[in-house]
Homo-oligomer: A and B are copies of this chain.
């Protein structure tokens, strides 16, 4: 049984949005593999690497805005730079793991809907009400979801997930682990394809 590809991402990462559109297809077509989606808090990881969000970096931030727009046009997927960007993705990530513990398929669909709302429509997903509504769109009881994401257990869960990502060497979003090989960035999906096809080099 082949190990799933682990896809680490932050819900507030545009390049993760682009990668999310492709990685499951690539994994299945070129490697017959599942993809395990693992949101984490990039802001926490960046304390380890002493890095800054792209938008806070002069010049590079402006380039990135153009690059996202160009990438979305190329991929022909909806794209709206959110007026609130970046955001704290903590609520979305907690909700994800709560759903995940019951149903991984639904959790992935929830994550896709979060990305579609945030980067497709440009609407913030930082608040509990929006996350509740997105939950109900994928068949989750929104009242239950909203209650769950403030519980201690799920707060701890996300902390643990984030720490495990950091311990695994994850420093950016998206980040992929294929067996023992690490790949950072949506720009590395072509390499993951070849890695899967050839078994690595």
A78 within 8 A of B: no
Distance (whole angstroms) from the CB of A63 to the closest CB of chain B: 6
The reply to whether the CB of A188 lies closer than 8 angstroms to some CB of chain B is yes
Residue in chain B with minimal CB distance to A187: B187
**Known A52-B50, A187-B187, A201-B74: A182·B66 in contact at CB below 8 Å:** yes
Contact B191 A74 (CB under 8 A): yes
Q: Which of B58, B172, B181 contacts A50 (CB 8 A)?
A: B58
A58 and B49: CB pair below 8 A?
A: yes
| A57 x B52 contact (CB < 8 A) | no
Pick the contact of A57 from B51, B63, B169, B185 — CB < 8 Å?
Answer: B51
Whether A59 is near chain B, meaning CB under 8 Å from some CB there, is yes
Chain B proximity mask over A172-192: 1 for CB below 8 Å, otherwise 0:
100000000110110110110
Q: Which A62-100 residues sit within 8 Å CB-CB of chain B?
A: 62-63, 66-67, 70, 73-74
Chain A contact residue count (CB 8 A cutoff):
29
In the complex, whether A7 has a CB less than 8 A from a CB of chain B is: no
Residues of B within 8 A of A63 (CB): 169, 171, 182, 184
Q: Name A186's closest neighbour in chain B (CB-CB).
A: B187
Q: Is residue A102 contacting chain B, with contact meaning CB distance below 8 A? A: no
Q: What residue of chain B has the Cβ atom nearest to residue A181's Cβ?
A: B70
Nearest first, the 10 A-B pairs at minimum CB distance are: A187-B187, A59-B171, A60-B171, A49-B59, A49-B60, A73-B201, A49-B58, A49-B57, A48-B59, A63-B182
